[in-house]
Amino acid sequence: MKKKEPDKAPDLPAFWVEISDAVSHRFQFKPDGQLSVALVDDSRPVARRMVDSFLSTFFPSGYPYSVNEGYLRYTQFRALQHLTSATLSVLSTQSLLFAAGLRPTPAQATVVLKDGMEHAGKLICSGLGARMDSEPKRWRILADVLYDLGSGLEVLSPLCPHLFLEVAGLGNFAKGMAVVAARATRLPIYSSFAKEGNLSDLFAKGEAISTLFNVVGIGVGIQLASTVCSTMQGKV
């Protein structure tokens, strides 16, 4: 007597399209099992798309239902604090240059413009915050790679002085993205290690380790800068 073969499970579609509020998204499972989402069509008015783009860049997904009361007020005070800090940073740098006997030059203005690229990188990377929740460790490694790449471009910038703004700006752009990715993935990574409510202790100890090795790294950098890397050939 032949055994009855078990019924095969119906094949699930490899992808599907969902339409919500005049926006079409294509959902598809990758070979590794991860779900990818791609925008297919967006027929909303331009003003509505601009508002949604602003919210997705500067507010968490699902806002205001994904946060507790007081988040907006806290964010407003943080924005004010960053505004005043950035302004004072420019003024303090100018004052230090004056105290050292230097006067404003076009090159110094170029350096300030180059630093603005870092903030552009931060804004772009902040729009990817929702993706970092699913793969925090991968994004943390990517942050390290981006930061080293940005620093490497800055080190090599004397090789092409006529392209200083482009090279240094690209380096700062990569470092800006790295800073956001590193900060955004810090909490989920530490949360995976924490037991018995000791998350704050893990943060504190992580900062202590970072501070210690940053100080050591500065010492190593100073030593290399005055010996092996005193020339451009040595740096390369």
Domain of 31? 16-42
Same domain? 97 vs 126: no
What are the CA-CA distances from residue 124 to residues 53, 54, 93, 183, 193 (Å)? 11, 12, 26, 14, 29
Q: Total structural domains in the chain?
A: 3
Q: How far apart are CA 121 and CA 64, in angstroms?
A: 25
Whether the bond between 10 and the residue before it is cis, its omega within 30 degrees of 0, is: no
Q: Write out the chain's pLDDT in tens, 236 residues.
A: 555 555 555 555 577 877 777 777 777 777 766 677 777 777 777 787 787 777 777 777 677 777 778 778 878 887 887 777 767 766 666 676 677 666 666 555 666 666 677 778 888 887 777 778 778 888 888 888 888 888 888 888 888 888 877 888 888 888 888 888 888 888 888 788 777 777 888 888 888 888 888 888 888 888 888 888 777 777 77
Q: How far apart are CA 149 and CA 175, in angstroms?
A: 8
What is this structure's pTM?
A: 0.58
30 in Cβ contact with 14 (< 8 Å): no
Whether residue 58 is contained in a domain is answered as: no
Q: How far apart are CA 27 and CA 35, in angstroms?
A: 7
Same domain? 171 vs 119: yes
